[in-house]
Chain A
Amino acid sequence: MSILVILLAVVFLGIASGSIGTFTFLRKRALLGDAIAHAVLPGVALGFMVTGTKMPFFLILGACFTGSLSIYLMNTIVQKSKLKMDTAIAVVLSGFFGIGILLITYIQRNYGSEQTGLDKFFFGKAAAMLYSDFIWLFAICILVIVCIYAFYKEFLLISFDKNYAKSVGLNVRLYEFLLSFLTVLVIVTGIQIVGIILMAALLVTPASSARFWTNKLSNLIILSSVIASISGIAGSLLSYSISKMPTGPWIVIFLSLIAVASILFAPKRGVVARNLKSKRLKKKMFHDNILKTFYHLSEADGSFNTLRTSSELRNRRYFEEPKLSLALRDLMKLDLVHQSENKWGLSNEGWIKAKRIVKVHRLWEMYLTKHLRISSDHVHDDADTIEHFISPELEKELEKLLAYPDEDPHHTKIPYT
């Protein structure tokens, strides 16, 4: 089969599973998807045994049958027994998969080893697909995409708020059934390319990676389709160029790479971005504290033009040494501080900033004592952290609420600019 057809098939599958998988992910049904994928195996074997052919139609039919049966069984187990969903999933997954393996072994014994073509269902082999397989794959993927477009609102509603969906008269059972059915279809189609064992990854990993990058459902669907397709293309190209290589593992490796990259590098939600943010905050707090200390020193001796040595600063407030010098240098680059010989002083801008920090610190102390009735000897530590985070809007509100007080609770003057 030409590589172009394979790539096209992989892209279609990526779109179908990326978009249906978004709902699997949002409805927290990831494990269910895994169970369905495994439960498909006995269906494929049965389809072959009953008809004696490898016609895709019959294999798909068998797969759909046992896939749906597994959903039904899991739901019934949860409803009728006291078992929880995770147990039901484990029982059904291993049970169906075990039966599937038995049947496949039986087929290999009795129909000769050339029938081991069924092997490809374990890890997927895109290159081994037949022309008729592709026709089915395209048809099913298009069906899935059309359904998601048509029932977007309904699927969204039952994924977010099922009770509300029922309350507005939506036939929740019907749409849940439809979603499950489409999921089974995608899984059944996907196993030829990705394989039973790894199919759940193609379903859920794209959406969970994409979630790091977007807060909008429509974008989430598109992005996870793109992620699934790209991984599919990369994986099948690799497995195509290395003979006897299954497709599934390669696709999943790319999916996992994208997932790891998303977890690490996504803006806002990613680990790196969050670390950077907290580093920036720490730095800002350190800078604020230095500026503030200049102010405190000058306030104490009444001289705002004197330059200070770094040990003077450190005597007033605890600063770690190499960090202090580095930070002073940073502040100099920002034109907040200037240096002559060993001594440092604030620039005009530096004074403005320092005053503001002292002001909001003292305003916050006033607020705590006046409005929350916290005693004045308890408010300093709190204000020391809060001062860095008070926004200009909040600052204005505090000023208004407290009517521009002259002094803080410790009777030191509040500087206004």
Chain B
Amino acid sequence: MEKESIIEAHDLTVSYDKKPVLWDVDFKLPAGLLTGVIGPNGAGKSTLLKTLMGILKPDSGYVKLFGNKLDEVRKKVSYVPQRESVDWDFPASALDVVLMGLYAQKGLFKRINKADREWAMYCLEQLGMQDYKNRQISQLSGGQQQRVFLARSLAQNASLYLMDEPFAGVDATTEKSIIDLLQKMKNDGKSIVVVHHDLQSVNEYFDWLLMVNTRLVASGPTSEVFTQELLEETYGGKLSILSQMAHILKNLEIGRKEHEKI
């Protein structure tokens, strides 16, 4: 039996100031998977996520989530923006930011109550951030800020998560604990889409891959599309990137285990 598609993108073309940065992106994503979005800087990965979330309007094409229009299923979808997209010198604590995940469910005049706080604390705990709940967010390290964003997303208790570079600026141990958490969420039946830059770990982390470079180069099970040929097509075109790629590809041939981080 074929799994239902959780995301359908139909011929999406997206532009900034009339300059298209994504062309004719068309794919279907099966439910219940951990999906990676890879591609070079400026490839349009963030743009794709924003379009799927309705933050940007496509010039043409449309998106269906859970087979519906976005507005009908908004509560079941959660978005984690790129960490650099906000000014962290904002008067808020880690807990305050996590509580923002509950704002959409709360109506006008309704204040945050004790149960909300407990739920937000639980989400912080999931990311090992409970000790930092009262810390001013500008005083958190980059990796901790990232985890606060993830906790806010968890607080929404969605079925589909779209995360823009949740591993950027995160150390190896934290990355491991986050990926474990994502895996656990997947086993609970959630679908997760993650923009990712480290090609070393792609095979290990993701069931499905979207390879993007202003167009969709490939969409499919990682085992089928994570090939040298498609990688070259995704990252090709820019010479400096190509040389970096040669290095990465070389490491891929040897096997990822030899790569050690401090």
Contact = CB atoms under 8 A, between A and B. Distances in A.
A219 B100 CA distance: 18
Interface in B102-118: 103-104, 106, 108-109
Interface string A376-415: 0000000000000000000000000000000000000000
Contacts of A159: 90
Nearest to A169: B74
Most A CB within 10 A of own CB, among B55, B85, B91, B97: B91
Nearest to A217: B91
Contacts of B77: 167
Contacts of A26: 90-91
A215 B89 CA distance: 9
Interface of B: 50, 53-55, 71, 74-75, 77-79, 81, 85-87, 90-93, 96-97, 100, 103-104, 106, 108-109, 136, 152, 156, 262
Nearest to B110: A153
19 contacts: A149-B109, A150-B108, A150-B109, A151-B108, A153-B106, A157-B100, A157-B103, A164-B79, A164-B152, A166-B53, A167-B54, A167-B55, A167-B78, A167-B79, A169-B104, A211-B91, A215-B136, A216-B93, A217-B96
B152 to A, nearest CB: 8
A391 B92 CA distance: 26
A163 B93 contact: no
A220 interface: yes
A161 B50 contact: no
Contacts of A288: none
Main DSSP-derived SS at the A contact region: helix
B71 A169 contact: yes
Given A214-B91, A216-B93, A163 B50 contact: yes
A300 interface: no
B85 A161 contact: yes
A237 interface: no
A167 B86 CA distance: 14
A168 interface: yes
Given A150-B109, A217-B91, A163 B79 contact: yes
B91 A163 contact: no
Contacts of A170: 103-104
A217 to B, nearest CB: 5
A216 B136 CA distance: 9
